[in-house]
Each structure stands twice: as C-alpha cells, then as structure tokens.
Structure 1
Amino acid sequence: MKTNRTTQLLAAAVLGIALAGAGMGVAGPAVADDDPENGIDVTVTIEPSTTGGQVSMTVADNGGVSLQEDGSNAAARQFVGTLPTVTVTDSRRPEEIPAGDYWAVVGQAGEFTATSGSEPIGPQYLGWRPHLLSDSSTGAVEAGEPVSSVISDGSGAPTVGLRGQELLVSTANSADEIGTWEVNADLALRTPVDVAAGEYHSTLTLSLFNQS
C-alpha cells in the first residue's frame, strides 16, 4: 500500500467467514379547494452548505460468508465464496481535499479456528480477487490487486494471503474520486490436502483509511 505522511482510520467493519381490521370505517381523503385565492405560496432559500463532506464505508447486509469446496486438486483443498458488496462514498468537495490525499479499503483476515480444537488455518491461506462494480472510466478508483494463498492457485497472483491487502483504492485526483464506489471480491481458501476435517471460523476486518 502507498505510504504517505498522515493516516487516519475512518471506518472499520468485520465479517464472519465460516468453512463449512374489520368493523371500523376509514375516513376518506380531504378534498382540496380549487380556488387559487386559497392557495399558500411556500418559499425556501437554501444557502450554500457549510457542512464538509466525508469519506464513508458500508458493507451490504449479510450473514457472513460460508466457503464451499470447489476446485480442490492434488496440490490443495480449495474453498470459495464471495465477499458482500462494499460501498465507499466520498461526498467531499474538491476544495476540501488536500493535494495528494487518497483513501483505501484494506482487508485483514484472522486465523480460521476449528470448533473441534484442531490446529488453526492461518490467514496466509486465504486469498481474494477484488472486482470493481462501479463505472470508473476516469481510473480515479481501482480495485485492489488479487492475492493468492501461500499455496499458489496458478494465476500468478502474489502468494501472500490476506494479511493487510487493498480491496479498493482511490487516486490523488480530488475532482475524479468524488462519488460512490462499489466493490466485492472472490474469496478462495487453499489449504494443504491433509487439513483436518471440521468447522472453522475466521473474522475478516475491512478498514477504510484516508491518507494525505
């Protein structure tokens, strides 16, 4: 991830991942008088807003992600799922955004712990492939790079696992990054073939950082 002078955590979210009347009259609407002399003129003057905008993040309603086995082979057991849609909204005005300012959503997975007491599965075995769901013809906002489990999936993605990886990141062009952006990701847990059977649970934390 880019390094800059100031980093501010704006929001964080955690996501669980599992491997395995009658009888009463009703009055009708009142009838309006059509006489224009009885009309009431309503006027409002809206001054320019003095409230600054902000960068915010939401995660679509979900019950967690249940990974299902698909794509296992002689090299690894593989379990896949889809991250719920994550939305980032930047409502700031261009003049509110310092030069060089940008934001990023970063994902960090915890260990998969087994309910049976088996050895945990580390976050290095979980990878993802982010997908930008919003139009970004300006290139102002981009999905993060895919990463694979330390047991490679053969795609050429870095085999570093999900340990502080960008899901969504903006550029430093303040005029273009303003708006609403949606992203999700394909999740893939690739474990050794001799992984112990059982139910495992992990927590994936998504954090929105603003940096300048």
Structure 2
Amino acid sequence: MNKKSFIARAAVGVVGGALLLGGAGAAIADEIDNGEVDVNVNIEALPPVGALTLSVASGSATLAEVDSGDDDVRQFNGTLPTVTVSDDREEVPVGQFWYVVGQSSALTSGANSIAAGNLGWTPRLLTAEGDGEVAEGGQVGTVLDGDIGLSTGEDVLALALDSGDAATVGTWSANADLFLKTPKTVAPGAYSGTITLSLWEDAY
C-alpha cells in the first residue's frame, strides 16, 4: 500500500469513527424537558434628519440712558443680540408654524429690583430673503406705557406662519431694540437680569 492510499484510508476511518460516535450519542440521549425563551426588542423610530434650532449671538445687551422725554421717567436703551432660527430638516411637518418668544426676569442690584414689566422691546427682522414667510413681533411697551413689558413669556420676537414655507429660506435672524423705563426715583446701581428666548413649533 502506498503512502497516499494509506493517508486516504486513515482519513476515512477517522471520519467514520466520528460519525459512529455521533450516532451512538444520539441513540442514548432522551429528551427530559424543554423550555421557551421570549425574545423582545423595542425598535424606536429613527430621529428625523436635520432639525429646527435656535441660537443666540454671544454677548449681552447693555442698556445706556437716553432722554425719555418725560421728567418723571428715566429710560435706558440697548439692542438684543441677534437671534437665529435655522431649519435644515429634510421633511418639515405639514400644518405647523414656529415662533420665538421672550421673557425677562427682574433686574436686580443687591437688594434693589426693577420688575420685568419695566423692560420692553421692538423686534426687528434682519433676514432680507423670502417673501413674508416670517414676520417680526409687535412692539411691547412697559408698565409705564400702560403695557405689561417682557414679563409673560408670550412676547413674540419672530413668527413663521408656515414652517414649511419658512424652511425654503432655511435661516432667519432677528433682534430687538430694548428699552427700560423706570421712575425717576429708581435706586442707583448696576442692575442685571436675564431674557429667556424660546423657540416653539405648534399646529395651526
């Protein structure tokens, strides 16, 4: 018997032995019991591509005194940093509109405080593109003007009447002229506060 034939027969013998052992194992195995395992998976929807976002330019609004035209009132003017709304969503929901609102805290200096109602604004839309898809909010006067100032969180800076239409331009920017009016008797001091700007989207 040559070497090649011997190797071939040895290989067959090993395979045959393996098959024989496997058969013997199957013959003596009896099923004792079984069990079941439930498989659960929660597949969440993928997030939409793109987003509707708001950003505010860095910096703060510093108010400086101007002539109020009223001997009993002191007035301080400044400018809100630029607020930008961007929409790069691939699919914009139908029947939605977005809006940016602002609300001020009281302005404080140590134990002294000026209520948020003393701060008002005149919004300015800065984006020239488009055809009326986004509008600036109306002027909000102070309590000394007979209004409520930036105290409610319902004061609109900018408003898109239709989110889909506004998204054709993609990016919109606005700011506002700020004005603080106080009685002439206001306590002197370095006052500070915060205007919170919020972007909302809702169905119409």
Give the TM-score of the pair, scaled to structure 2: 0.69
Runs of 4+ in 1 over 4 A off after TM superposition: none
Q: Which position in structure 1 is the counterpart of 2:58? A: 61
Q: Which position in structure 1 is the counterpart of 2:194? A: 203
Return the offset for 1:173.
5.5
1:172 and 2:162 are equivalent in the alignment? yes
Structure 1 counterpart of 2:92, which letter?
I
Return the offset for 1:60.
1.0
SS in 2 for 1:175: helix
* Greater length-normalized contact order (CA 8 Å, ≥ 6 residues apart): 1
Alignment length (residue pairs): 153
Return the offset for 1:175.
3.1
Alpha carbons of structure 1 residues 149 and 133: separation in structure 2 relative to 1, 3 Å: same
Which residue among 145, 149, 154 is the counterpart of 1:161? Answer: 149
Q: Is the 8 A contact 1:129 1:186 kept in 2?
A: yes
SS in 2 for 1:130: strand
Fraction of identical pairs, as percent: 41
RMSD in angstroms over aligned alpha carbons? 1.8
Equivalent runs, 1:69-80 vs 2, <5 Å: 69-72=65-68, 73-80=70-77
Q: Which position in structure 1 is the counterpart of 2:80? A: 83
How many angstroms apart in 1 are the aligned matches of 2:100 and 2:93? 19
SS in 2 for 1:127: strand
Which residue among 174, 189, 197 is the counterpart of 1:183? Answer: 174
SS in 2 for 1:202: coil
Q: Is the 8 A contact 2:92 2:163 kept in 1?
A: no
Q: Is the 8 A contact 1:171 1:177 kept in 2?
A: no
Return the offset for 1:136.
4.7
How many angstroms apart in 2 are the aligned matches of 1:129 and 1:66? 16
Q: Deviations over 1:68-103 (max 9, x none)?
A: 10123314110111011111101123xx23332011
Q: Please say which structure displays the higher CA radius of gyration.
A: 2
Give the TM-score of the pair, scaled to structure 1: 0.67
Return the offset for 1:113.
1.1
Q: Deviations over 1:109-144 (max 9, x none)?
A: 0011112x22x1110000000100002542111111
How many angstroms apart in 2 are the aligned matches of 1:173 and 1:58? 17
Q: Which position in structure 2 is the counterpart of 1:132? A: 125
How many angstroms apart in 1 are the aligned matches of 2:125 and 2:79? 13
Instruction: Specify every segment of 5 or more residues in structure 2 that has no aligned partner in the other structure, as ranges.
Output: 1-46
Q: Deviations over 1:38-88 (max 9, x none)?
A: xxxxxxxxxxxx9522111111121x2221101233141101110111111
Which residue among 99, 104, 111 is the counterpart of 1:104? Answer: 99
Q: Which position in structure 2 is the counterpart of 1:194? A: 185
